[in-house]
Amino acid sequence: MTTRRRRQLLFAALYFSEGAPIGFLWWALPTRLRAAGVEVDAITGLLSVLVLPWALKFLGAPFIDILRGPRWPLRAWIAACQVVMGVLVLATLTLDWQQDFALVGGLLLTHAMAAAAQDVAVDAYAVAVVPPAELGVINAWMQGGVLTGRSMFGGGALLIDAWLGPRVTVALLVVAIWSSLALLVALGEPEPAPAGGLSARRREFGAALGTVLRRRSTWLVIAFAVVSGAGFEAVGIVVGPFLIDRGFSSEQVGAFLFVPVVAAMIAGSFASGWLSDRAGHLRTAAMSLAGMAATITAVAWIGALWPSGTPTLALLLVLYVLIGAFTTTSYALFMALTDRRLGATQLSASMSATNLCESWSAFAVGRLTGAFGYGPAFTVMALASLAGLPLLWWMRPARARGTER
């Protein structure tokens, strides 16, 4: 394979290992709980806690930037985190997820911390080895991998539970987490190692951080990440309960999330990745963001007019195409504006902001749904997303000056 193809395969595999546990926690678990009669606000409260390690991962990212070196590169960070993630999930096999809920929750929270650290290292590795002209397409491959993992262990987990039982699902999840280790060894490219010893790396890190913090684009990106995904994060968190309350069964929800939703997101990701590398990340992000807000509003109200549910499913598929497009091009934009010397710290701050968006969106949509219903809740969250459009406009001067990378 060419180096370009090797990068695409490797980052797709790494993101698959990230997406599998996220799909299980974010898609399968809420649907299970809602089908068992748990209230939506309780489900979203649990998820808002589990997402916090991703929202706060920027706090540990500087250690990865400073401590990485020739003897402990980013690839070593990735491998170590994957081992810890798998071991913690394996530990839940001996527990009853209802009777030992507190212990299972603690293991999953610790797992989430290791997964967040792995996420930081993988993204920093991408910044280090992927050429700028490939960022859109490589993010499409990343999204393809993470969405496949989410599909298999989100909607797919509901089907596996019904056929083979929950313990088999958990064992297969561990296999998925560890599946990219061999490819990391076989296909991973050595990243440029920081020069000098630990003291020199600390000084270089401090100088680079001071430069980045003085850039307006840094703060615009973080603000954009905190608000722009509010609409689709809100819908994604409660889509299972939303469809259950519309009369669909858990198996129907699982089948919908397993193939159609993921196929739609992957299609949107690759279309957006191709367009983003040619038309620009800012323009592509703005178009997909506006389309998402309009489609979420349509899901909120058109579904109430046609009780059959078919229009709702069709609109949700359109929405997931746009979600795939927006995610790919916004992540490519974040990488393009990241200083290579701060691959872990700066990019993780942007990604943590997206996770913070997911956390507050989960909390907000749960409260809004409980008070007003799905329609008003989705509409409010879609309007919140549109606050990201002027932020994209203000990023244009930084992009034009070539301050990225």
Domain residue limits, the chain: 3-400
Half-sphere exposure of 229 (CA within 13 A, CB side): 31
Between CA 68 and CA 127 the distance in angstroms is: 14
The CA-to-CA distance between both ends of the chain, in Å, stands at 27
Angle between helix 310-336 and helix 260-279 axes, rounded to 10 deg? 40
CA distances from 68 to 52, 71, 337 (A): 24, 8, 21
Ranges of beta strands (E only) in 163-311 are none
Q: Does the global pTM surpass 0.95?
A: no
For residue 160, the SS3 value is helix
Between CA 261 and CA 321 the distance in angstroms is: 8
Give the angle subtended at the CA of 266 by the CAs of 265 and 270, to the nearest 5°.
120
Sites in the chain below the pLDDT cut of 50: 399-405
Neighbouring residues of 400: CB distance < 8 A, sequence distance ≥ 6 = none
At 307 the pLDDT is: 55
Amino acid making up residue 278: R
Q: Locate tokens 């994604």: which residue? A: 236
Q: Kindly state the tokens that stand for 20.
A: 């599998």
Angle between helix 374-385 and helix 281-305 axes, rounded to 10 deg? 170
CB atoms within 10 A of CB 389: 15
Q: 3-state secondary structure string, 236-300?
A: HHHHHHHHHHCCCCHHHHHHHHHCHHHHHHHHHHHHHHHHHHHHCHHHHHHHHHHHHHHHHHHHH
Options 1.20.1250.20, 3.40.50.1100, 1.10.260.40, 1.20.120.1150; CATH of 3-400: 1.20.1250.20
Give the angle subtended at the CA of 351 by the CAs of 206 and 321, to the nearest 5°.
150
CB 41 within 8 A of CB 370: yes
Angle between helix 388-400 and helix 216-227 axes, rounded to 10 deg? 150
Between CA 307 and CA 240 the distance in angstroms is: 17
